[in-house]
Structure 1
Amino acid sequence: MVYTFKGKELGSFFALSTDYATERDEFKGYDNLINIHWNRNDVPIHLSIDNVEQVLFPNQLTTSTYLQKLSFKKGEPPLTSFSFNREFYCIIDHDQEVSCNGVIFFGAFDIPKVTLEGNEIGKFEALYQVFIEEFKTRDSIQGEMLMMMLKRLIIKTTRLTKEQKIGQRLDDSQVDIVRKYNVLVDIHFKTKHQVNEYAEMLFKSPKTLSNLFAKYNHKTPLQIIHERIALEGKRQLLYTDKTVKEIAHDLGFHDAGSFHKLFKKITGHTPNDFKKSTRLLAA
């Protein structure tokens, strides 16, 4: 079942799907969707995000954005998903942590997963039922009500993410630096390949960033940049007809050899070998 809200003036869109894998085709008219996925089943759901297998256990939530490619195996249990575009939620000046560039969407973690436990399950289920009722209520303030409820869902998910994934290792200001760094990498990875370039934008030293990332994540700031470049390289190899040279140029490399070297370092495969192997798997 799909419940939708569409705002004609701004082209805003917000949807609640009870079986995202089979119903997401109904969202094709809307680009750049941001999603919160929730396994409300008693069994795990297997999915692939950017060609990496993931398991979402019962009462776990994760997120995905328009930058990621999701796929599902046939016969998987239904996945509950909230999907919205920037016109619906992000044009409002929300607090940074719960904005569209917040912790759970663009930032601290590759594939964020949070687990609902104890009374949190009941709280989220109650919120889910209110969403259903509000989607069915057609009046002049429906959009505003749904936006307020979506913000509540994002706030609750963000709090759990910080508790479960970051704990007490970082304070709020440090979390914000990590988030901002990841957002900046998402924006500038095609033109800025060095940590010092991002450190300058954040008014921090590269050493400060390295020490901060070491507190919660085994990845270094440079690894974040390299993995983001490699991820875009994989997407273009899989979903476009561009040559390796063209992809290298698009990602800011003056020669294909430098891209080739970075891609192999991150993925373990050359660009051409990666493209061939994924096509063989899909055949």
Structure 2
Amino acid sequence: MFLQKIKILEPKELPISLMPNEFRDELSILWNIGECTTINIDGETVTVDTNCIIFVSEFFMKLETNSTDFRLIQFNKIFLNPFDSDLQANEYLMIFYGMHAVDFLPKITLKAEELPLFETTWENLILENEQAKNPVMESLLRNSFQRFLLLCNKIHMETKFDVAIDFKDLRVVRQFQHLVNTNFKELTKVSEYAEILKISPKKISELFGCCYDRKASELIADRRNLYAKRQLIYSDELIKNIAYDLNFSDSQTFSHFFKKQNGLSPDEFRQEARNK
């Protein structure tokens, strides 16, 4: 049975409210084609210029805007490569995950000379999305969407980063980030990821240090902390069950980790979040 795993929408009259879904691996792209506006994401106000495209991963908890000028794409990661998503989808998704911190909102702003290509690509996406009624047409849509993501990645890398690291090493950093995103519950040490990547933990730390002003181990902690915060805010799960889900030995160890990250115990954090 054919299953649509992507939504491509022109601006609507209604404001947008999104809650990225970690469990469905759902990602969102918003393209502002109107005047400069703002969005609210996890309680922070972010300015979005005209022809600014933002990329919202499951790292974020909630996005809202009153603007009605956003084009919107929502898709599941598996849509990019249903047969081998972990190996190849990673290349297309680097703008969501690569070369920035967990809580950083990636975005690009299109220049005048870049607009015609992006407008043509968008028109193709709309048309092919409407025609995607069978696996063949879905493949055509997938190819166009992959091209759109690669164009975005190209602009992002050209305008946002000047990293003293060669492509081979940069690929290792990206693979590490992707592995952390998909395995943070089970794998909690840099050495465990190094074993998968067949390099030493020291090498990962060195490469990571070339791109960030923080440690590789802190990326793992950030990802685990974000998941815990999401569970505390948006679910009624018992704290001991959250601790177990994240592979902590007991709730006390989890509480110590959480307070070190956030300055509050899990109980205090949940209460404060729900009183807002």
Q: Which runs of 5+ in 1 are unaligned?
A: 1-8
Picking from 180, 189, 204, the partner of 1:194 is 189
1:229 is paired with a residue whose SS is helix
Instruction: Please name the residue that 1:59 is paired with.
Output: 51
| Deviation at residue 136 of structure 1 after TM alignment | 4.5
Q: Which runs of 5+ in 2 are unaligned?
A: none
For 1:221 and 1:186, locate their aligned partners in 2 and report how far apart those are by CA, in whole Å: 13
TM (normalized to structure 1)? 0.81
* 2:275 is the alignment partner of 1:280: yes
Structure 1 residue identity aligned to 2:111: E
Partner of 2:30: 37
1:150 CA drift (Å)? 0.5
Correspondence for 2:125 among 120, 131, 136 = 131
**2: CA distance, partners of 1:93 / 1:255:** 35
Q: Could you tell me which amino acid in structure 2 is paired with residue 47 of structure 1?
A: N
> Does residue 1:11 correspond to 2:3, yes or no?
yes
With the length of structure 2 as denominator, give the TM-score of the two structures. Answer: 0.83
Secondary structure, aligned partner of 1:12: coil
Q: Give yes or no for the alignment of 1:260 onto 2:255.
A: yes
**Equivalences, count:** 268
User: After the TM superposition, which of the residue ranges 123-132 and 178-187 deviates more from structure 2?
Assistant: 123-132
Equivalent-residue separation in structure 2 for 1:162 and 1:239 (angstroms): 34
SS of residue matched to 1:169:
coil
Call closer, same or farther: CA 1:94–1:138 in 2, change over 3 Å: closer
Contact kept? 1:100, 1:106, Cα under 8 Å: no
Q: How does 1:1-283 map to 2 (within 5 A)?
A: 9-19=1-11, 22=15, 31-49=24-42, 53-66=45-58, 68-73=60-65, 75-91=66-82, 99=90, 102-109=93-100, 110=102, 111-137=105-131, 142-281=137-276
Moved more, 96-105 or 77-86: 96-105
State the AA in 2 paired with 1:129: E
Greater shift, 53-62 or 86-95, is seen at: 86-95
User: For the residues of structure 2 that align with 1:94 and 1:86, how far apart are their CA atoms?
Assistant: 7
The letter of the residue matching 2:116 is G
